[in-house]
A and B are shown apart, each in its own frame.
Chain A
Amino acid sequence: MITAVQLTKRFDDYEALSGLDTTIPSGAVYGLIGSNGSGKSTFLRLVSGIYRPDAGSVTVGGEEVYENPSVKNRLFFVSDDIYFLPQATMDEMADFYRGYYSAFSRERYEKLCGIFPIDPKKRLHTFSKGMKRQAALVLALACQPEYLLLDEAFDGLDPVIRGAVRKVIADDMAARSMTTVITSHNLRELEDMCDHVGLLHGGRIIFEKEIDDLKLGFCKVQAAFRPMVEAETLKERVDVMQLDVRGSMVSLIARGGREDVIAALEGLSPLFVEAVPLTLEEVFIHEMEAVGYDYNNVIF
């Protein structure tokens, strides 16, 4: 479990994190979202022991991380700006990490090299951005960490590789109960993968929930009416949070269970009515409004 208590980090006069509190349970895939400069990468660097907190604490499994090699041995941090040793190949990088991480598995490394289309004997500086990221993920997963910290992990990956990465991570979670923390400013990227999400804004996590809990309180429904019913009529029947009318098509987000909302709308004799999935972004917008944040002040 990763626990941050009143975690604070300053860069000169700028406070990147101001008293951040969070708990990331073991075995979770935690998505950390936030705008550029919100402190996502700083948080991961604090968790991985690169930065020392200016105040507060961050612990992994109950132990401080900074200058604690035994805890760091259970963590692997994949930065958004990937570094490899000059002129190194992936095999050489594997040798590099093998000496540091006690759980490094050569077998796993070779297996991962077979999954991803990259040549382990080729010099890494000749790789494209996406290939470098694949290499970094292969090396990270070969170290078999208990905690995998991914900063903008999917940046530059094509959809096929994204899928492969998601699957590999899922396999590792299943096999070793690995905890994964992924940062992104792209909610859709995390939507299919995370079971927990947190929104970082102004140096704090202003909102975090399990994905499943997020979607229990409201639903999104699309319906068609001819003639179109009045908006007020719709609002009388369901607790509308957002309403979008285009011709005879109505798209709305309303509080309450999916079946209840559909039943209420069917009473207005629609041409059709159906529930559609909520995007994580839509969920966040409304959840934040629910806790008193103005959407317009949070720019993704």
Chain B
Amino acid sequence: MTTTMLSSKRGSHFGHIFRQVFKSQRGLFFYYAVLVFLFFPLAYTMSVMSPTVGESGRKYYSLFGASYLYSMPAAVIFILVMIVAPIILGLLQYHYMHSKKAVDTYHALPVSRQELMAANLAVGLCLLLAPVVISFAMIAVVQVITFGFSAAGMTVLLGDLATWAVLTAAVYTITVMVNTLVGTSFDALVQSLQVVYLPIIAILLTIFVFDSTLDGFSSDWIFQTPALAYFTPVSMIVVRLSLNYYAESFYEIIGGYHIALAIWAVIALLAAVAAVFFYRRRKSDLAEETSSRGWLKMATKLVFTYCASLVFGFIITLSFAGTASNALFIIGCGIGACLSYIIMEVILIRGFKGIGRSLPVMGGAAVFMMMFAFFCTHGGLGYETRLPEAGSIASVSIDYQTLGDHDILRDRPQDASHLANPIPGSNEFSNREDFLPSASSGEWLDLLKDVALTDPDCIELVRSLHENAIAALDHMDEEGPFYENFTITYHLTNGGTMTRSYSLCTQEMLEQLESLKFQPEYVQKTFAVFYTGQQQVKTLSYTDAFNLLRSEQFPEEWPRTALTQQQSDELLAAIQADLLARTPEQYDRPESRQVAMLSLELSEPEDSTQYHANPSAVVHTVLEGDANTIEVLRRLGLYEELTASPTQYADPAVSAKVGYYESGTLPYTSGNWNGNRYGWDSYIIHDMESSYMGDAAYVAEVTDPEQLEELIALARNTWGEGEDLAFVQLYTAGGVESDMLVIPRSQLPDSLQFTEYSAEDFVEPGTAYTRNGF
């Protein structure tokens, strides 16, 4: 008798199992591989082969993602395939565990479960990853042929490959692990989805609940980074595809992203090890079992209950909202917990039989959820009212709000050297002659997001503001609210931090916030002029209040003058002194008009960790009350030029337009600002565009010299609370438009005091009136 002895080494069946499993899954593999090929390498190849060609002959590609490998909408299908495939494969491949007769066959085979699982895992990973690796290899070849070899492009491509490999493997191994713990494929599907997605849903819901119920809690800091997206493989993929290689945030995000990816790689590995571990201990009789027992089922049941009960609580509260909304939320959470727990039980045990045994846990879950809801709706056990002792505060940070000029300070230069190596497939790569010079600085500057204050007066002011915020919790309706967002972070002497955010203010809190901005430390840390250090103002550019003064040599630019070191020091000292001398009262009821705008062009910093937005220039607005600066400008011989009437230095054919809205308010401020308390703000002035004039109800064009002089004398960039305003803009025959300034309508000459009924009748020589919209 001839006996075939295929297994040369007893106990080693890895190769045989591998071949058998591969054979059984080859159909799925074929469809998966075809889809991946169609919607990834083929779509990429077609995209790079058919770019849009601009008029200049330049090529533009419609690829996106950090690696510029993906084309829409092929990417959408590709992502779906990559998300769904590991779960489907996991369910199909390990379906045998959930069939009693299949278990009889597989578990009677002369092979250890460890070997059986290891071989299955190897097959699954090969099936999933082989098409991806081959696709990336094909794309790499196409990329090199089309664009030439790019080390940067290849690096990002490999990063994408690692991302797909790790995340796909993670979803697959988690699905496999879940398969080893449940009795049916349906449970495996439900539990896999729950394990992968429920944690992030629970976290988001918790944040939402805290955000909605706890005063002082803010989720803004959580959502400022994509960290939450790192909790699920799918959102990880979305983040990767939405990364912009050329964006300022790229390097900020990519570091954390790689750490998250490494963690997912560890999770994938741990899930694979756990799958082997659990499979070795899995009872064969678990197949086809539909009980709701087991630690995994209990965990997912409870997390589902947590999420569903919160949603139910909100639905109940919104449906029957009234004075007892807190009580409704608590009751809703309790009812929701019972309902959702029973729903999960029924799903897991496929019926109501034996549901009675679940009642104790269901009751416990309901009590817990009601306690949690009580916690959220009743101040979070002191969370809302906690105020650190003054002595325990080392410093305090408050989110940065600029007062006067455009400079938003930044700190910590970010490495942007990668911009010198654009990615093939991006338009920056195709048009690098235009792109590279802007990236030549090799560094990016980060936004200064908040102001750290250590001065005891500042700390006490912030603490008092916080105290008022706590005190106002119960009577905000009577004293406000005024909408004003601010976030306070205490850095405590014990090394801890405490952060609270508020979006509503009382009148007193608004005044405190305002006065904080005039504290010397706050001013010093928020005006760019204080960050110039030992730098010299090499050149001073300047213009008048209308921003109409131009260089004779370069009509598009402001006039400029060079400064000596002494002049530079004097000017910086004067500006700093004037900024520190400004008061909230001036800010509230401004009497001081804008005199000029200065641009200080600085030498390169020598040793500084902080910079302003434009390292070469600081823009500063000079007001009538800035005596020190005005004195320096006088000494420099610039003051007379800056304060001369535009009709004297500009094109004699200067004209003006005056317009106003029927409401009397400015479009930018209407509805958003409280009682015009913040009416004076050059930011608004600079942001007023010519289109406002076009949108106005009434516009008068003024060419009469006397009227022009009158308007110029009245125009200002400040106004008081409740003032009815018109706005004015000057034009030269050369086509230069001034900034828009305002004039209180009460001060307009009678000839410009037209109304809806008289405007069309009001025509005088040299003056033309129109009524927009009529």
Contact = CB atoms under 8 A, between A and B. Distances in A.
B1 A108 contact: yes
Interface of A: 11-12, 45, 48-52, 67, 69-73, 75-77, 79, 81-83, 85-86, 96, 98-108, 144
Interface string B98-137: 0111111101111111000000000000000000000000
A99 B24 contact: no
B284 A69 contact: no
A107 B283 contact: no
A113 to B, nearest CB: 15
A72 B109 CA distance: 7
Given A71-B110, A106-B2, 19 more contacts: A45-B284, A49-B108, A50-B108, A51-B284, A69-B11, A69-B111, A70-B11, A77-B108, A81-B100, A81-B101, A83-B105, A85-B24, A99-B19, A99-B20, A102-B6, A102-B110, A106-B4, A108-B3, A144-B3
6 contacts: A50-B103, A72-B111, A77-B104, A98-B4, A99-B17, A105-B2
A33 to B, nearest CB: 21
B280 interface: yes
Contacts of A77: 104, 108
Contacts of A101: 7, 110
Contacts of B107: 49-50
B20 A96 contact: yes
Interface in B1-29: 1-7, 10-11, 13, 16-17, 19-20, 24
Contact of A79 (B3, B10, B17, B105): B105
A86 B21 CA distance: 12
Given A102-B5, A104-B6, A105-B1, A67 B280 contact: yes
Interface residues of B, number: 34
Interface of B: 1-7, 10-11, 13, 16-17, 19-20, 24, 99-105, 107-113, 280, 283-285, 291
Contact of A83 (B99, B284, B285): B99
Contacts of A104: 3-4, 6
Nearest to B20: A96
B2 A83 contact: no
Nearest to B16: A99
Given A105-B1, A105-B3, A144-B3, A82 B108 contact: no
A51 B7 CA distance: 25
Contact of A102 (B7, B99, B101, B102): B7
B101 A100 contact: no
A100 B1 contact: no
Contacts of A79: 101, 104-105
A73 B284 contact: no
A50 B99 CA distance: 13
A49 B16 CA distance: 21
Contact of A100 (B4, B16, B24, B283): B16
Contacts of A69: 10-11, 110-112
Contact of B24 (A11, A72, A86): A86
Top 9 nearest A-B pairs by Cβ distance?
A: A99-B16, A73-B110, A72-B110, A83-B101, A79-B104, A81-B101, A77-B108, A69-B110, A50-B107
B10 A50 contact: no
B101 A103 contact: no
Nearest to A10: B285
B112 A51 contact: no
A100 B111 contact: yes
A107 B2 CA distance: 7
A100 B17 CA distance: 9
Nearest to A49: B108
A105 B5 CA distance: 8
Contacts of A100: 7, 13, 16, 109-111
Nearest to B27: A87
Contacts of A70: 10-11, 110
A252 to B, nearest CB: 45
A263 to B, nearest CB: 52
Contacts of A71: 110
